[in-house]
Amino acid sequence: SKYAVLVTGGAGYIGAHTAKALHELGYFPVVYDSLSSGFREAVRWGAFVHGDIRDSRALGEAMETHGVKAVIHFAGLIEVGRSTVKPDLFWEHNVSGTVSLLSTMREKGVNRLVFSSSAAVYGQGGRGPLESIPESAPKAPASPYGDTKLACEWLIDAQCRAYGLTAVALRYFNAAGADPSGQIGEAHEPESHLIPLAIAAALGDGKPLTVFGNDFDTPDGTCLRDYIHVNDLAAAHVAAIEADLPAGAFEAVNVGTGKGASVLEVVEAVGRAVGRPVPHSIGARRAGDPPSLVADPSRAQALLGWKATRSSLDQIVTDALRWERSPAYGSGVRGPAGQRRAKV
């Protein structure tokens, strides 16, 4: 293989898709995951090391054993709502975890990093609903989760300048869909994301969907988001690992399509894919939801030579549905193995 890449959080949703993409492009993924929210069943490519990112001894050992040359760092806590009630936990896992990872990389001479950041660094998104967000837009996170992502970006940027680390922070918009193989896909517990909830509602395995508000300043009154296929997102990580950047460079790059879809457009697309309408009602706004978060993805194209190629809403929803109907989803992830996981 080309070389070994440590994938922290590689048993999670985006991490597992990236491990598969790395494998397909000739790299050797070394998944490092505590399985606190990831799934052992999702680790199917390369090697697996069970560990916590705050454990620098175990991290260092994994880097040495496999001759790791680069790190893609997904591991962290992601639930925005939970971060508002347990901010300390988010700082501990996300920020202290990144401190531990960076010092271990330095100790082991690993000088290339791709970091999972988020559109959450832009907070309410700032400008009007039809304006896309460039990387230079004001950074004003609206949750402790977003604070930790921005803090990690600053930390990484400073270490690039100080020690010659080369890093790309990818600011994801709304990751969605699944690998078309049906082997891996999205499975959060509890599920809070729109597309899986809408599919469950249409299939009759879940509650009817509540649309969180239809009085936003957007074309149909529901929130606009930039849904990006998880395989497009995975490809962006490989492009970021391969980008020709000088030593010491730090780059923050949006990963989105540049096109927004409303909650009602998603509901329609899920209805088309399932062949049955999504039972839904209009409810109150969810606290903190910005009206519009749509990427300006031009920098990703210029810097990484990357753009979305499989992120039409219909493609995303079709792939998400295939996964939710797959045996892997039914047995591994929702079955006994899924329930065995320890909670953070």
Point out which residues bind ligand UFG (CB under 6 A).
78, 80, 118-120, 145, 174, 192-194, 197, 209-212, 223, 225, 263, 286, 289, 293
Choice among 32, 122, 145, 172 that is catalytic: 145
Closest distance of CB 39 from ligand UFG, Å: 18
Closest distance of CB 293 from ligand UFG, Å: 6
Tell me how far apart the alpha carbons of residues 60 and 49 are, in angstroms, rounded to a whole number.
11
Closest distance of CB 97 from ligand UFG, Å: 17
Q: Which is nearer to ligand UFG, 101 or 263 (CB)?
A: 263
Closest distance of CB 189 from ligand UFG, Å: 14
Q: Residue 226 in contact with residue 130, Cβ under 8 Å?
A: no
Paired with 255 in beta bridges are: 172
Paired with 170 in beta bridges are: 116, 253
Integer CA distances (angstroms), 284 to 199, 210, 263, 289, in order: 21, 9, 14, 11
Strands 4-8 vs 28-33: parallel, antiparallel or unpaired: parallel
Active site residue 163: no
Q: Which residues contact 36 (CB under 8 A, 6 or more apart)?
A: 341, 342, 343, 344
Say whether the peptide bond before residue 138 is cis (omega within 30 degrees of 0).
Answer: no
Closest distance of CB 131 from ligand UFG, Å: 16
Q: Residue 219 in contact with residue 231, Cβ under 8 Å?
A: no
Q: Which is nearer to ligand UFG, 165 or 197 (CB)?
A: 197
Q: Which is nearer to ligand UFG, 12 or 51 (CB)?
A: 12
Q: Which amino acid is it at 180?
A: P
Residue of minimal Cβ distance to ligand UFG: 223
Q: Which is nearer to ligand UFG, 45 or 227 (CB)?
A: 227
CB under 8 A, 24+ apart: contacts of 124-130: 124/290, 124/291, 125/290, 125/291, 125/292, 125/293, 125/294, 128/217, 128/292, 129/216, 129/217, 129/218, 129/219, 129/224, 129/260, 129/291, 129/292, 130/260, 130/292
What does the DSSP assignment read for 60-84? HHHHHHHTEEEEEE--S---HHHHH
Q: Which residues contact 16 (CB under 8 A, 6 or more apart)?
A: 10, 31, 38, 39, 42, 43, 44, 184
Q: Residue 256 in contact with residue 228, Cβ under 8 Å?
A: yes
Q: Which is nearer to ligand UFG, 21 or 194 (CB)?
A: 194
Q: Which is nearer to ligand UFG, 78 or 234 (CB)?
A: 78
Closest distance of CB 120 from ligand UFG, Å: 4
Q: What positions carry a catalytic annotation? A: 145
